[in-house]
Amino acid sequence: MMMVRSRRRRPTRQFLEPAKTPVSEENQDTYWSGCLIVAEIIIESPQVRTLRLISPEGGSIPFHFLPGQYIDVEAAIDGETYHRSYSISSSARRIDCLDITVKREPHGLVSPWLCDAVKPGDRLNIRGPFGQFTFTGTEAQSVVLVGAGVGITPFVSMIRTLLDDAWKGEVHALFGFRNREEALFLEEMESLAATFPTLNLHLTWSKPESRKLRPKGRITPRLIRKTIPRWRDRLYYLCGPLDMMDHVRSDLVWRGVPVDRVLTEAFAPPPRDESLGGEFKITFQRFGVEITSEQGESLLETATRAGVMMDFSCLSGTCGLCQARLVEGDVEMMADDALRPEDIERGEILTCQAFPKSPCVIDA
């Protein structure tokens, strides 16, 4: 008997018809891994760099991706290996290179390495693509992309791809930045919006350098209602700080936008909740290992402590690499974005997000 309770079930995507690129289905279960070469590093703002990656053999990038997906980058720093996920910002129609856009986090480990130590010509081990936060143009007739800071990067890939495809639908991009110096891809987005009538660019500034930059303030539900025409009827994608996404999503849903029309992507793991989990016997049956879990510890952390090596990347419930089947027991999950309804029915869980509520047997 197994039971999975979801604490923060994010809305699942509903597709009106199959996505254009068959690779999307393939990507749900498989990914490419290998090495790409850094061809160029583009300075987007004082803290943000775009790394342009190409195939070592030349020619096309060795995998396809959907706009909105991300890749996992391996970093070897001081003899240790780390993995981090970065959104792809280039168009999915561009096959000669792939861009990832990285913000140098002041207390980060991998992002300063990527922004400051990595040089053109270096090789990066990557895996991907991952993620179901995708928009290809088949899901709706119009879309609202709401992003703040580096959270706009998946939307840049979506916009570039939709315009490359000459998509006939209406795009509303509502982007929030501190000021013009820190605004990402601004010239390109302004120029695209001036050229393509289907792209409507709306900006807001939290700390503008000049009074001419209007409106002043962060992204709020009120700003969305004021800015987006017929806001109730749209499909929303939100990416940025967790508090912005939670606030906007709950307000839209409260005002009648169906919950499955407001999709979110978190760049960071959900905040840790030490009250979750507890001391239970956990069995990893294929490894033949039993261990007692600890308070506040996810099943992935329990597995690592037990020497059961499970794959993982994002630690936020979006990549699906840590997926395993719960054979017996009761778990609570913080997020389950990477799982499809049929996965959940089969008892699949994301071990990085799952906390035991009883003794558990895991098919791992």
CB of 65 or CB of 205, closer to ligand FES: 65
Would you state the torsion angle of the CA atoms of residues 177, 260, 84, 65, taken in this order, to the nearest 10 degrees? -100
**Residue 211: half-sphere exposure toward Cβ, Cα within 13 Å:** 0
Distance separating alpha carbons of residues 334 and 60, to the nearest angstrom: 38
User: Which among 50, 146, 46 has a CA at the least distance from the CA of 94?
Assistant: 50
CB of 152 or CB of 315, closer to ligand FES: 315
DSSP helix, strand, coil percent of the chain (3-state; round to 5): 20, 35, 45
CB of residue 330 to ligand FES, shortest distance in Å:
19
Residue type at position 159? I
* 111, two tokens: 């992002």
CB of 186 or CB of 338, closer to ligand FES: 338
Q: Which three-class secondary structure state does DSSP give residue 239?
A: strand
CB of residue 327 to ligand FES, shortest distance in Å:
19
CB of residue 315 to ligand FES, shortest distance in Å:
5
CB of 169 or CB of 269, closer to ligand FES: 269
**228 φ, ψ (degrees, to nearest 5):** -95, 115
Which residue of 350, 354, 360, 364 would you call a contact of ligand FES, by CB under 6 A? 350
CB of 49 or CB of 127, closer to ligand FES: 127
Q: How many residues of this chain interact with ligand FES, rule: CB under 6 A?
A: 13
Q: Which three-class secondary structure state does DSSP give residue 283?
A: strand
CB of 173 or CB of 333, closer to ligand FES: 333
The answer to whether 138 touches 17, Cβ cutoff 8 Å, is yes
Q: Please name the residue that has the structure tokens 């800015």.
A: 227
Considering only residues 16 to 35 of the shown chain, the ones binding ligand FES according to CB under 6 A are none
Assess 352 for contact with ligand FES (CB under 6 A): yes
Assess 186 for contact with ligand FES (CB under 6 A): no
CB of 150 or CB of 349, closer to ligand FES: 349
Assess 228 for contact with ligand FES (CB under 6 A): no
CB of residue 266 to ligand FES, shortest distance in Å:
11
Which residues fall within 8 angstroms of residue 249, CB to CB, at 6 or more apart?
A: 236, 238, 262, 264
Considering only residues 288 to 327 of the shown chain, the ones binding ligand FES according to CB under 6 A are 312-315, 317-322
Say how many Å lie between the first and final Cα of the chain, rounded: 17
Q: Which residues bind ligand FES (CB under 6 A)?
A: 312-315, 317-322, 338, 350, 352
